[in-house]
Amino acid sequence: MECPKCHFSNRNDTYYCAKCGTQLTSTGNQEQRRGKTEPPDSHTETFQTPVKELTTGSTFTGRYQIIEELGHGGMGTVYKVFDTDINEKIALKLLRPEIAQDRDTVERFSNELKLARKISHRNVCRMFDLGKAEGTTYITMEFVAGEDLKKFIRKTGQLGAGRAVSIAKQICEGLAEAHQLGVVHRDLKPQNIMVDEDGNARIMDFGIARSLRGKRITGAGVMIGTPEYMSPEQVEGKEVDERSDIYSLGVILFEMVTGHVPFEGDTAFTIGVKHKSERPRNPRELNAQLPEDLSRLILRCLEKDKGKRYQTAEELRTDLEKVEQGLPTTDRTIPKQKRLTSKEITVKFNVRKVLVPAFIVLVLAVAAALLWRYVPKKETVSTAIAKKSIAVLPFEDLSATKDQEPLAEGISETLINALSSIDNLHVSARTSSFSFKGKQQDIREIGQKLGVGILLEGSIQIAGNRLRIMVRLINTTDGFPIWSQDYSKTVDDVFSIQDDIAKSVINALKIKLLGEKEAHLVKSYTADREAYNLYLQGRYFWEKRGKENTLKAIAFFNKAIEKDPTYALAYAGIADSYLVLGDNMQLPPNESFPAGKAAALKALEIDDSLAEAHVSVAALLEYEHNRSRAEKEYKKAIELNPGYALAYHWNAMFLSNEGRHDVAIKEILQARELDPLSPRINANVGLILFYARRYGQAIEELRKSAGLFPEHAANYGNMGLAYALSGQYKKAISAFNLALEIEEDSTEWLLWAAYCYALSGHRVESLSRLKTIIENSRKIYVSPTMIARVYVGLGDKEQALIWLNKAFPENDGQLNYLKVDPTFDPLRSDPRFTALLRRIGLEK
């Protein structure tokens, strides 16, 4: 069989050319070769329908001059072409007719290409466009010189550890950039990685990647990928995230250092079953020269449970660097970076001037090391916390009807609140603890993520009037139980059971209680069990957020109050709900904030020790511009419950608005320590850094947050703010678009995008968006302050001030940010702006 590239004559049962490594895809020998030298890629290979063939020298669509065919596969044929419009060589892929004629498939490619185009990194091949011409659908992309990694492995048999680590590090860098934008490759394999002669690696075909948030594009149950490189969750057709790409990279690393994939078989099904059920061989069994730490790294990538793999590409890259440092210098491979300029820069320097300061620095470093060794050290915070730290996981509903979820969550939350009141006990906040709901994850990993030494988990079961609660404490260091208990009483005893559980936990942790806390840990705010159940249902919907769920929550809280008019927690729930509706601009502030304040004050009238109500009152007073009293309320809330993360969170925002940035950053970091897996708190760490004008730090924090919470729009919206104010307008627009992909109807991100367009000189685009938003403001509430910001970007200060003056009588919550928001800097010299700051209490 003749190789189409080098014309070398190969045996009929050969899958790759023995001379140049080109994949041989002759249809006549496809079945003959199956199962012999190597099974073909079984993911999408189709040979029934021929692809439109272009000859060298011909022109496609009057624009692309064909230079040569680069190869063909399951999607179609790829050509190297010269784009006469931009005078550059690019790659052109013609899709197979059977793919191009499937409208759903083409639409999916189109949607996913929009995501792929946002990836700009030296280790990722850029995707350009999807088009249709001459009866053919095509994709254009960057041309990358070199050969794919699969051919490279075939020619060399296996790569040295240094070369493999170098390529893997580059792949990690490319994946990290994509994952931060929420894009997963899903078909990572050696055929999709190009390596040039200098050792630089580029990831190809991000065009079939899907967004972590784009669930409309490809739902669960659809399997995309190549069997030899697919993760177990891909084999099952489940939802995938960046850890699936890490598994695929583990397979590639295995193949690079051994010359074989971990699992082989005659059919895709056989290979898939092995990915799900068989443990991979230790790579050292196939390559005895392989370093032990590199072998462990590969096997960790190949864990069946994605929670046990590396969680991010950055984390994997860090360990690859450690492995590389342990390799002999001669084994390390450093790819040659392409020069940015052809000019050489020569620097002359005096050796003595360099060596003398270097020697001084070395002496100081040694002295510091010795001093550090003998100076007594304080125990680190994380170590101290781990000794007496606990997280309460959401209890599981084991009832036959599965209708007790609000009660199960309510018991967990009640225990969190009770334990949070104990001095010297670090308790993980609800948001973080509940983030593991419905997930199968190793106890030790949960402990690491939450920073706690103990987990409390349990279940409830109701049959008739009988309530059964099973609980146990688990040590997160070794996963062994410390204490367990089974409670079986009537449903009317739910309050006393919760108190018993809390006291048992305290005894197990050997914490001594003082004063009144010895009598009752769990405070019963109502004796009416029906009112309690209604309140729990209200909290259940409140936690789901969104306007519709929040209004449902208010309805349940009101029903609870009808049953028990002295139910302080229910009033606090109403206050929180109206606060969220107003703060998120889901209701006009003049409608939501007064209703919230009235409910919060009623809650404090019934019970002045309720920290939640003090926080709500503080936030609502801030919106009324009564800042001195608001500050007292925040301090009171923290004093009453030092473990209440939201108190620190809202107080941080308050301090930030006043320009007290250092204290605000300290408070928001304290909130994050208490509630490390709260998407909102993590996003607002970046927002406060933005208001402190630390744009680089803000972007760094928001990238980390986006990696943890890819579906939280504020990560990308806040990132867009920092990019815009640091002059990176393209990145800012991309970030706002990502936020809008998650929250399609968000007026906030639409207005920010309009501001960014204005700032970058795209007035027509900005005015067009602004006009649409102002028209919409007749139907829904739109913040006048945010409209004013767009006019500032357009340079229209008069219109900006007109809209700001509209914001004041409407009690627009966005006015609170006016003192520190850098977007309003062009107005600061205007006395009318200063007068407005005085009216809202932000200027004396």
Contacts of 789 (CB under 8 A, 6+ apart): 751, 755, 800, 821, 823, 824
Strands (DSSP E) found in 134-189: 136-142, 147-148, 183-184
CA dihedral (549, 551, 556, 561) in degrees, to 10, reads: 150
* 567 in Cβ contact with 525 (< 8 Å): yes
593 exposed, middle or buried (CB, 10 Å; 0-12, 13-18, 19+)?
A: buried
- Selected catalytic residue, list 41, 148, 187, 500: 187
DSSP string, 256-285: HHHSS-S---SSHHHHHHHHHHPPPPPHHH
Contacts of 109 (CB under 8 A, 6+ apart): 130, 139, 207, 208
Sign, Cα dihedral of 519, 525, 526, 531: negative
Question: Taking the CA atoms of the chain, what radius of gyration do you get in angstroms?
Answer: 31
Tell me whether strands 426-427 and 389-392 are parallel, antiparallel or unpaired: parallel
* 306 in Cβ contact with 312 (< 8 Å): no
Q: CA 753 → CA 142, 718, 743, 771, 779, distances in Å?
A: 28, 11, 13, 13, 21
- CA dist 295 and 666 (Å) reads 42
- CA dist 183 and 244 (Å) reads 12
φ, ψ for residue 814, nearest 5 deg: -65, -15
- CA dist 670 and 668 (Å) reads 5
DSSP string, 656-710: HHTT-HHHHHHHHHHHHHHSTT-HHHHHHHHHHHHHTT-HHHHHHHHHHHHHH-T
Half-sphere exposure of 674 (CA within 13 A, CB side): 24
Structure tokens at 559: 């029903």
Contacts of 571 (CB under 8 A, 6+ apart): 557, 561, 599, 600, 602, 603, 606, 613
What's the one-letter identity of residue 491?
A: V
Name which of 586, 652, 587 is nearest 618 in CA terms: 652
- Per the listing, tokens 């890629």 go with 41
- What is the distance of C-alpha 48 from the center of its chain? 41
- CA dist 823 and 755 (Å) reads 9
- CA dist 254 and 694 (Å) reads 42
The DSSP letter of residue 339 is P
* 32 in Cβ contact with 21 (< 8 Å): no
Residue 576: active-site member: no
Q: Collapsing DSSP states into helix, strand and coil, what is residue 91?
A: strand
Sign, Cα dihedral of 429, 431, 437, 441: negative
* 167 in Cβ contact with 201 (< 8 Å): yes
- CA dist 820 and 798 (Å) reads 20
Rounded to a whole number of angstroms, the distance between the first and last alpha carbons of the chain is 87
Residues marked active site are found at: 187
